Chain A
Amino acid sequence: MAKVKQQTEQTFLQDLLDFQGSLNGKSEFLDEVRLKGAEEVRNTPFPTKKLEDWKFISLRDLYRDSYELASNLEVDFPDFSEHFLPESKESRLVFINGSFSAEHSSTKALPEEVVIGNIANLAAEGNEQLKEHLHKHADFEDDVFTSFNSAFLEDGAFIYVPKDVTVEAPVHLLFIQTDADKNYFTTSRTVVVADEDSEITLVEDHIGLGDNKYFNLPVVELNLEDRSFVKHTKIQRDSFEAIHIARTAASVAQHANYESYTITRGAKLSRNEPRIFQMDEEVEFTVDGLVLIDGDQVSDTHSVMDHRFSHAESHQLHKCVINGKAHSVFNGKIYVQKDAQKIDSFQENRNLLLSRKGLVNTKPQLEIFADDVVCTHGATVGQLEEDELFYLKSRGLDEQQARELLIYAFALETIENITVDSVQELLVDEVHRYTERQLDSELTV
């Protein structure tokens, strides 16, 4: 990949490093991770539009404004229990502005042998599994945002599912971002390790309670050992003024299966970078996405599916609904390395553009160095068809109902694969609220 030499742009994010040392002292292990992260941030420029991978979005808001460390702020927040999932009453970890909330969390439903908890506590206790796995799987070389997350790493979720253990209850990782007087930033880290023959379902849920500005930078590391199965649904419902930049890295070992669904609804600017690394032969993975944006929202997904060994089946269906002046960017890279034969990979980006001023940039990308593979990829941009709307209206549905049904139908392909019922239901509600909003003339433009 060609690299453009960047000018070092001094951003507020670099100034923040001066305060980073104040977090030290509770765990030597975390101190080291942070120190190393801070060092990397000092040596790596923040990206600008001059870089190929960042050319479609502007990070000016992020660099220009000032943000405070979320854990330094005193905040009040309303009751948010409406966001609890009924399936996860006793399998939930809650983080409020990045800090663990024991009061709202419960892990009683999990088998005893599962290690689950918040990183700050586990690190203070000197948990060996945490040390073994934290910061080992987020393989983001030269990525300043991952380093920034490390530099300010205070807390987050850690789950280790031992060999042969199936966790029945879905684990709800609820990241609540509160309203606040000042802009703040939060850098949660989530580490999930599924040992051999284990199984777990995760719901990573980012919710902004207000309409305030903050910077949410979560990093998720997943390690799937042989024959393990991890289902991972991420729902991003951050405040419509927030900036959400996320990294998710999954290493998938032999006969393991990683299924992920990422739903993007919130944030003014969001960037998801899922990266899946095949660690051995015979793996399966899914990296589906659904984006519902309007107003002046920008959503960018840059994904990497790295097929490194023979025999893999991978699937990526990335669907976006764009309204108002919203802007959707998709760049999906599929690598098939030299000795990775018998790869079956599917990739498609489908966009439903509801307004004249909406914008879509899409770039499915294949880089294949093996010769015995089946890879399909493609991208489409379409609109709601007048004939489809007329058909439904002639059956008695009004404009709102008809549009909602068609958008729902478009979105369903992603939603229907999510196995947690209440998550499916809440996403149907999200689609409903989205179509309600999109009929607002201001947003439809």
Chain B
Amino acid sequence: MLEIKDLHVCVEEDGTEILKGVNLTINKGEIHAIMGPNGSGKSTLSKAVAGHEAYEVTQGDILFEGESILELEPEERAHLGVFLAFQYPVEVPGVTNKTLLRQAYNTIAREQGREELDPLQFEDYAKDKLDLIDMKEEFLDRSINAGFSGGEKKRNEIFQMAVLNPKLSFLDETDSGLDIDALKTVANGINQIADEDKAVCLVTHYQRILDYVTPDHVHVMIDGKIAKSGDKDLAVKLEEQGYDWLTDVASVSVNGEQ
């Protein structure tokens, strides 16, 4: 489904190279986890896949279902079925979740040649998805993330993912800042959404969400490269031993993440 080949990415503003040759293949039905210390480039990889303008691809390619998506705008990638759950979801006071999601859902449906939903149909459809993240109906009528707690924002990202039903989802630190109950709710939502036709990539600093969402593959990113890949046992080892045993391979620059 997703094939990342020798991807080099710079910050457009100052030319700093953050990704220095990432190779990654994600097949449908798979759950991947990308771990790594702060500043290793995990978030940049997510944003590059989603098409953030601030990051410039200088080398390599990103293929989605066999086609390069490098030249596509973020919304065109979304129309194909790429989704990014944000580490810091943006607040838009004055526009309800329902308004945004219906517009987004219908735009994607139109682009994919599926039927659009009228407001009533959409409301029924969206209400069903609320159960996945244990939220009440009024969640639909609240302004996008405005005044939400950290946990609510993260749950809202998973809710949006459920509604938009993407093929490939990158979840950027969706677990950070969650207490254990919220973490379980979010993990449960992810497990219910993931199926054999979809792929999910969890980008995380900590292993703990992987106790609830079992990854098929775990990758460790260090200094802009994938330093090691393995199965879920790799995550356990990282939790016990930290990243130091891998940093001999690559030197780590800890600048704090973007």
Tell me, rounded to whole Å, the shortest Cβ–Cβ distance linking B115 to chain A: 16
Residues of B within 8 Å of A396, CB to CB, are 75, 78-79, 104-105, 107-108, 111, 164
Known: A397-B75, A406-B92. A392 touches B53 (CB 8 A): no
CB atoms of B53 and A397 under 8 A apart: no
* Contact A388–B78 (Cβ < 8 Å): no
Note all chain A residues with C-beta closer than 8 A to B95. Answer: 405, 408-409, 412
Q: Which of B75, B79, B94 is A408 in contact with, Cβ under 8 Å?
A: B94
Knowing A396-B79, A397-B104, say if A386 contacts B94 (CB, 8 Å): no
Q: Is the CB of B75 within 8 A of A398?
A: yes
1/0 per residue, CB under 8 A from B, across A391-404: the answer is 11111111101100
B89 contact from A386, A391, A393, A410, Cβ within 8 A: A391
The listed residue (B74, B79, B143) touching A390 by CB distance below 8 A is B74
> Which residues in B have their C-beta under 8 angstroms from that of A387?
90
B90 touches A393 (CB 8 A): no
Interface of A is mostly: helix
Query: Which residues of B are found within 8 Å of A408, using beta-carbon distances?
Result: 94-95
The 0/1 profile, CB within 8 Å of A marked 1, for residues 46-57 of chain B is 000011111000
**Given the complex, which residues of A lie within 8 Å of B73, measured CB to CB?**
393, 398-399
Q: Give min CB distance, B140 to chain A, whole Å.
A: 15
A15 interface contact, C-beta 8 A: no
A413 contacts B by Cβ under 8 Å? yes
- Which residue of the partner chain, among A393, A410, A412, A416, contacts B78 with CB atoms under 8 Å? A393
A interface residues, how many (CB within 8 angstroms): 24
A388 to B103, CA, bound (A): 16
Closest to B160 in A: A395
B177 contacts the other chain (Cβ, under 8 Å)?
no
Per the bound structure, the CA–CA distance linking A406 and B92 in Å amounts to: 7
Q: How far is the CA of A398 from the CA of B107 in the complex (A)?
A: 9
Let me know if B54 and A393 touch, CB within 8 A: no
Quick check: is B122 within 8 A (CB to CB) of the other chain? no
B57 to chain A, nearest CB (A): 16
- B104 near A395 with CB under 8 A, answer yes
Q: Which residues of A sit under 8 angstroms from B92, Cβ to Cβ?
A: 388, 392, 405-406, 409
Interface residue total, chain B, C-beta cutoff 8 A: 32
Q: Which residue of B lies closest to A406 (CB)?
A: B92
B130 lies within 8 A of chain A by Cβ: no
Q: Which residues of A contact B90 (CB under 8 A)?
A: 385, 387-388, 391-392
B93 close to A (CB within 8 Å): yes
Report whether A401 and B103 are in contact in the complex, using a CB–CB cutoff of 8 Å: yes
Which single residue of chain B is at the shortest CB-CB distance from A415?
Answer: B94
Q: B84 contacts the other chain (Cβ, under 8 Å)?
A: yes
CB closest residue in chain A, given B93: A409
Chain A positions within 8 Å of B75 at CB level: 393-399, 402
A386 and B50 form a contact (CB under 8 A) = no
Minimum CB distance partner of A391 in chain B: B90
Q: Please, how many angstroms separate the alpha-carbon atoms of A421 and B89 in the complex?
A: 32
Residue of B nearest to A409 (CB): B94
Please give, as numbers and ranges, the residues of chain A lying within 8 Å of B180 by CB-CB distance: none
What are the residues of chain B within 8 A of A399 when measuring CB–CB? 73, 75
Q: Which of A356-397 contact B (CB under 8 A)?
A: 385-388, 390-397
Q: Which residues of B in the span 33-60 have a Cβ within 8 Å of any Cβ on A?
A: 50-54
* Bound-state Cα–Cα, A396 to B83, Å: 9
How far, in Å, is A231 (CB) from chain B's closest CB?
A: 21
Task: Using A388-B92, A408-B94, A409-B93 as known contacts, say yes or no to A394 and B107 having CB atoms under 8 A apart.
Answer: no
**Within 8 Å CB of B79, what residues of A?**
396
Digit string of B207-248 for contact with A (CB within 8 Å is 1, else 0)? 000000000000000000000000000000000000000000
Contacts of A412 in B (CB 8 A): 94-95
Instruction: Tell me whether A390 and B104 are in contact in the complex, defined as CB-CB below 8 angstroms, given that A405-B92, A409-B93 are known contacts.
Output: no
Q: From residue 77 to 115 of chain B, which have CB atoms closer than 8 A to chain A?
A: 77-79, 83-84, 86, 89-90, 92-95, 99-101, 103-105, 107-108, 111
Q: Which of A394, A397, A410 touches B94 (beta carbons < 8 Å)?
A: A410
Contact with B along A73-113 (1 / 0, CB 8 A): 00000000000000000000000000000000000000000
Residues of B close to A388: CB separation below 8 A: 90, 92
- Contact present for B94 and A392 (CB under 8 Å): no
Given A394-B78, A396-B75; A413-B94 close (CB under 8 Å): yes
Q: A405-B92, A412-B94 are in contact. Are A392 and B54 (CB under 8 A)?
A: no
A8 CA to B53 CA in the complex, in Å? 56
Known A-B contacts A388-B90, A408-B95; A394 and B164 likewise in contact (beta carbons under 8 Å): no
Complex partner residue of B52 from A390, A401, A405, A413, CB under 8 angstroms:
A390
Interface residues of B (CB under 8 A from A): 50-54, 73-75, 77-79, 83-84, 86, 89-90, 92-95, 99-101, 103-105, 107-108, 111, 143, 160, 164
With A395-B160, A399-B73, A405-B95 given, name 7 new contacts (CB 8 A): A387-B90, A390-B50, A393-B74, A394-B50, A395-B75, A402-B75, A408-B95
A-B contact pairs, 5 of them (CB 8 A): A390-B53, A396-B105, A397-B103, A399-B73, A409-B93
Q: A-B pairs with the 7 shortest C-beta distances?
A: A409-B94, A412-B94, A396-B78, A393-B74, A391-B90, A395-B104, A396-B104
